[in-house]
Structure 1
Amino acid sequence: MLPGVFVLFLAGYFLLLLLISWLTGRKADTQAYFIGNRNSIWYVVAIGMISDSLSGVTYISVPGKVQTASFSYLQTVLGYVLGYVVIAAVLLPLYYNRNLTSIYTYLRQRFGPVSQKTGAVFFMLSRLTGSAARLFVIAGVLQLFVFDHYKVPFALSVSIMIALMLVYTYRGGIKTLVWTDALQSALQVLAIVLTVAVIGSSLHWGPAEMVTRIVNSEKSATFFWDWRAVNFFPKDFFGGMMIAVTMTGLDQNMMQKNLSCRSLSDAKKNIYTFSVLQLLAHVLLLGLGVLMYEYMKAYGIQVPVNAAGAPVTDQVFPLLALHHLGTFAAVVFLMGLTASTFSSADSVLTTLTTSFYIDILGYSTEGMGRARRRLKNGIHIGCGILLLLTILLFRAFNESAIIDTLLFLAALTYGPMLGLFAFGIFNRRAIIDKGAFIVCLLAPAGCFFLKQYSAGWLNGYKFGHELLIVNGLFTYIGLWLLSLRRGNPA
């Protein structure tokens, strides 16, 4: 596929996003930017949330990792479903009953301003690194297969992508993102379905035979029971549950969209619908991974390796789509990749702006004058610049499969938020507010060392996704030690 075709496609796609931005943002006020005027349609939000679940990391990394991890990732995804039930039953009522715009305002109400800022800082760190990791994967693929052809430096190509995101989210904020994310989710799922169809056609397999081949493949093994292994089922399942609770329910980026729904009832319907849709989408993506390796086996294609001879599974999907499956498959792949490029980071610019404006600076979204609007816009642009710098750091230091890096970072950064919210919800004790930040630094530091040395310390036991739960527990215990023995209205 000629790189120029992709450039034309990207230009057309960007024009479509600009059109949606203009239609949704032409009458947008500050409440539309922050909370969508609480008028978002629940099923549109549910569809749009798929693009966060099927980010560029998932789109590229999960099918490729089937080679080394089989379907074990599905253990984590099943845990997600239970986590979404917890969000709908516990967290959404808490947020709606308090009429929150930033969910970390709850920590101020419950503990004090330092706790609020601590939660916001860890959210910003979590989302910044997570979004940067996702964009890093996609930008790397585009650089290798497109921008290197025109000798465009990596830093410049990523800067162009972020600048485009800034343009169409600058005014409409959440009101625009609800609709652009829905479009991007639809394109991502369509890209996966069409790629499956192309591989099936190339192998002369119909839908029934593809399903049979996937089910009977040794790579479709799903449940693993070695208690010392990273993919031990309870680790993945309950770790996945807490990943969903933290990375969705305690994450301003995801909850800001949910809080834009018209009512608590609509927000719950959104979460339950999304939980089913994302499960089906992940099953489809894992099935695609099996089919990719069946295609490679049939045509004698080797898995890419790095300098040390280890398989680089993140490059398998791009390799097949852009060099072996034909022009149509290349266009389809780049369509999904483009959708995940923008969905991975566009909303984070708005939600980082919201959290910094409300939680760190302490301003209200009500009655914003011209000076405050300029400040909000400046923060929005600053978040884009910070995102760019973080991506460049990933390019300099990342060595493993990016989804492993992302989930490890999530365990370290979301754990303190899990501990803070759990302590606030499940007991009525007050804490020494100024000590919350220290506790939230010590807990992930302890988990980092556990991850590095657990095999030697614990008779071969290796931490996986359950490290997030341990991190939250460490934070909870630390807060309990800081707590005062007197009731505190929750």
Structure 2
Amino acid sequence: MAPGILLSFLIGYFMILLGISYFTSKKSSDNSTFFTANKNSKWYLVAFGMIGTALSGVTFISVPGEVGNPAGNEFKYFQFVLGNAIGFILIATVLLPLYYRMNLTSIYTYIEERLGTYSYKTAASIFLLSRTIGSSFRLYLVVIVLQRFIFDSYGIPFWATVLISLGLIWSYTFKGGLKTIIITDTLQTVFLVSSVILTIFFICDSLDLNIFQAFETIKNSGYSKVFFYEDFITSKFHVSKQLLGGIFVTIAMTGLDQDMMQKNLSCKNIGEAQKNMFTFTAVFVIINIFFLSVGALLYVYASKYGISIPLDSITGKPRTDFLFPEIAFNHLSAIPAIVFMLGLTAATFATTDSALTALTTSFCVDFLGFSKKADLNSASAIRNRHMVHIGFSLLMFLVVILFNIVNNAAVVSAIFTVASYTYGPLLGLYGFGLFLKSRGVKDKLVPFICILSPAICFFLNANSKMLMGGYVFDNELIVVNGLITFIGLLIISKPKTSNTQF
């Protein structure tokens, strides 16, 4: 597939996003619009757009690739997805009513009212750190794909590709913020979902399969096993670990994450926000089935035509992440290549633009105190918000460049894993706040508890085989992380003199 054709469609795609930004911010681009979309978002747009935010470019290329991993992953990921679905339902029924009852802009202000200022700043800092690292990592993984298949042909250096990508995202988010994101994420989800469905169609067409034959092919391919009951101690993929991890990762990384909750809080009322979450959950499960099906068909296609898993340029080992782009760009026709590129771009930038908006919101509200100022929409407040938006764009640029300089896939993966550990303390903070309302904490000690907990978990994860009779952690480690934080908070707590309820 000629890089020039792909680049022209990429430019056209961003022109559409810029057009949406212009029209959504034409009447109003103040801070109320940026932070909450004036609390006037349509629940069905939020529900559909959240798919693009939840399913990053990493999901787009990694989930299908992992289906045929030599380690035998198959459809194991769907166990985790089912746990996600349970977690989303708990968010809709427990956390959303709390956020709406308190009329929050930043969800971390709950921690301030319940536990204190130091706890509040700690929770917000956890989000800023985790989301910056996580979103930068997701952007990095996809930019290297675009770099490999498009921009290397023009001699454009990697740093320039990253800077252009972030510059484009900044250009269509800096005015309208969340109001723009609601619309652009809906459009990007359309591209994402369409690309997955069309990819299935194009691969089936190449394999001369109709939809029923494709189903039978996937069923009989050896890739479609979902539930795994192998040894609980030594296997990461035991169904109980995956379900438990899926539930609590979702609660922490969605329900306690400003990025994901900001869209929900832009709905008119709790009823519409809950309809959004329930609808989103159903679509989320279905679209992940499609992703896994794409993975099975990719490996069937690769086997039929003798296509090997591409090698990683760093390690020289097969990298399953590259199988989807390899087949889309080099073995199918021009249309599937364009569809894949637009889907990958949509998945990545729907995640990044949303994260950039949420990071700006959290910093402005949680550290600059915008929600406590009467002049929220003054010229100086809007100017400060613009500066924060630029600052986080540059910070993400630097983090992505750092990932590239490290140039070691194992180290980068370790950094991302460590970043995911930081959400565990949020589970502990909110759990303590919700379930032990009669107790207060020594607020100044909370940051130390929230640093100690992930450090202990990192040690446990590295040494669990030796310390715990061969036990191997997976995503359920976040539960341990939250529990350690909870116990730490309990140790530094005492009964409250006033039983104010939140």
TM-score tier, shorter chain, comes to over 0.9
Distance 1:17 1:453 in 2: 47
When residues 241 and 146 of structure 1 are mapped into structure 2, their CA distance, relative to the original with a 3 A threshold, is same
Match of 1:195 among 192, 199, 204: 199
Distance 2:218 2:168 in 1: 39
Deviation at 1:341, TM superposition (A): 2.7
Distance 2:411 2:187 in 1: 25
When residues 336 and 403 of structure 1 are mapped into structure 2, their CA distance, relative to the original with a 3 A threshold, is farther
Deviation larger for 35-44 or 127-136: 127-136
Match of 2:380 among 371, 378, 403: 371
Match of 1:250 among 250, 256, 261: 256
Distance 1:218 1:6 in 2: 34
Structure 2 counterpart SS, 1:484: strand
2:152 is aligned to 148
When residues 410 and 35 of structure 1 are mapped into structure 2, their CA distance, relative to the original with a 3 A threshold, is same
When residues 18 and 218 of structure 1 are mapped into structure 2, their CA distance, relative to the original with a 3 A threshold, is same
Written as runs of structure 1 = structure 2, the 5 A alignment for 1:84-483 is: 84-225=88-229, 226-227=231-232, 228-306=234-312, 310-364=317-371, 366-368=374-376, 369-397=378-406, 399-400=408-409, 408-409=417-418, 411-428=420-437, 429-483=439-493
**Conserved 8 A contact 1:314-1:401:** no
Matched residue type, 1:435: L
Structure 1 counterpart SS, 2:223: helix
Deviation at 1:406, TM superposition (A): 8.0
Q: Deviations over 1:42-101 (max 9, x none)?
A: 000000000022210100111001112111111110001110111011100100000000
Deviation at 1:215, TM superposition (A): 1.7
Deviation at 1:403, TM superposition (A): 11
Deviation at 1:360, TM superposition (A): 1.7
The yes-or-no answer on 1:51 pairing with 2:55 is no
Deviation at 1:216, TM superposition (A): 2.1
Deviation at 1:202, TM superposition (A): 0.6
Distance 1:396 1:449 in 2: 26
Distance 1:407 1:94 in 2: 30
Deviation larger for 187-196 or 366-375: 366-375
Q: Deviations over 1:455-476 (max 9, x none)?
A: 1221221110001111111111
**Conserved 8 A contact 1:129-1:409:** no
The yes-or-no answer on 1:63 pairing with 2:64 is yes
Matched residue type, 1:52: T
**Conserved 8 A contact 1:105-1:359:** yes
Distance 2:10 2:172 in 1: 14
Structure 2 counterpart SS, 1:392: helix
Unaligned runs of 5+ in 2: none
**Conserved 8 A contact 1:57-1:402:** no
The yes-or-no answer on 1:24 pairing with 2:24 is yes
Matched residue type, 2:10: L
Deviation larger for 436-445 or 331-340: 331-340
When residues 337 and 403 of structure 1 are mapped into structure 2, their CA distance, relative to the original with a 3 A threshold, is farther
Matched residue type, 2:384: L
Aligned length: 490
Deviation at 1:404, TM superposition (A): 6.3
Q: Deviations over 1:258-281 (max 9, x none)?
A: 000011000000000000001000
The yes-or-no answer on 1:484 pairing with 2:466 is no
When residues 4 and 188 of structure 1 are mapped into structure 2, their CA distance, relative to the original with a 3 A threshold, is same
Structure 2 counterpart SS, 1:220: coil
Distance 1:439 1:468 in 2: 15
**Conserved 8 A contact 2:85-2:247:** yes
Distance 1:323 1:479 in 2: 55
Distance 1:418 1:90 in 2: 13
Normalising by structure 2, what TM-score? 0.95
RMSD of Structure 2 on Structure 1 (CA): 1.6
Deviation at 1:366, TM superposition (A): 4.7
The yes-or-no answer on 1:13 pairing with 2:46 is no
Matched residue type, 1:412: Y
**Conserved 8 A contact 1:107-1:119:** yes
Deviation at 1:426, TM superposition (A): 0.8
**Conserved 8 A contact 2:221-2:300:** no
Q: Deviations over 1:332-374 (max 9, x none)?
A: 1111012123112111111111111111222326523222211
Matched residue type, 2:38: N
Identity of aligned residues (%): 45
Distance 1:200 1:410 in 2: 38
Matched residue type, 1:419: G
Deviation larger for 450-459 or 81-90: 450-459
When residues 210 and 398 of structure 1 are mapped into structure 2, their CA distance, relative to the original with a 3 A threshold, is farther
Deviation at 1:214, TM superposition (A): 1.1
Distance 1:167 1:446 in 2: 41
Distance 2:367 2:238 in 1: 39
**Conserved 8 A contact 1:443-1:475:** yes
Matched residue type, 1:424: G
Q: Deviations over 1:92-145 (max 9, x none)?
A: 010000000000000000011111110100001111111111111110100011
Structure 1 counterpart SS, 2:495: strand
Deviation at 1:4, TM superposition (A): 1.1
